[in-house]
Homo-oligomer: A and B are copies of this chain.
């Protein structure tokens, strides 16, 4: 557990907690190890805990009514998630799978509620977390309508690099492990078109296509180029 504390605290959200609250949360955590492909929770299921990613990467997906899988976000080390069902006691909003072998920290729902009773000063921090969720979702909604497919694609790539809207290392190259097929399904497009558009972006030096992967050498550059068009 001790060795993951720095990772978990690297989140801008968690890092803003005063040390004694961080410790209080650490005290309630259990570690859980998961294998690649294993499911952490399913859409519609009751939420049993609040999670922080220690190592590995998780895929947040929803399965549409037609059976097509849609990738919603990628959660890397230092990302916290799953708080929504803790607060409204409603089912999970998404399916959640391990892309690689993973270690996640869990605060069980009961422990979570005890924690909030014991330290009500946690509330402002959680409202802050919820606000980032709302803001990133809003921003996504109003930019996806009114954008060309190419811009939607870029937008989506950027969204995938910033897990759920929390901050991640944007300055480093990021490799997204997803097929062009998956990417297409996320923006309601076709594999062939995505391949074409990625080809154009590759010409511009903004991405690199690989087998089952896409590399973004400089996320900031991609962001700067396409954010304000």
Contacts and interface: CB of A to CB of B under 8 A. Distances in A.
Nearest to A63: B142
Nearest to A127: B87
A68 interface: yes
A138 B84 CA distance: 12
A134 to B, nearest CB: 5
A88 B131 contact: yes
A94 to B, nearest CB: 7
A229 B143 CA distance: 25
Contact of A141 (B65, B137, B146): B137
Nearest to A148: B188
Interface in A119-155: 120, 123-124, 126-128, 130-135, 137-147
Contact of A147 (B62, B120, B131, B188): B188
Contacts of A133: 130, 134
Interface residue range, chain A: 35 or more
Interface string A87-112: 11010011000000000000000000
A138 B93 contact: yes
A34 interface: no
A204 interface: no
A180 to B, nearest CB: 15
A185 interface: yes
A64 B146 contact: yes
19 contacts: A65-B229, A70-B142, A72-B141, A87-B124, A87-B127, A87-B128, A88-B132, A93-B134, A93-B138, A94-B142, A120-B120, A120-B123, A123-B127, A130-B131, A130-B134, A134-B137, A137-B137, A141-B141, A144-B145
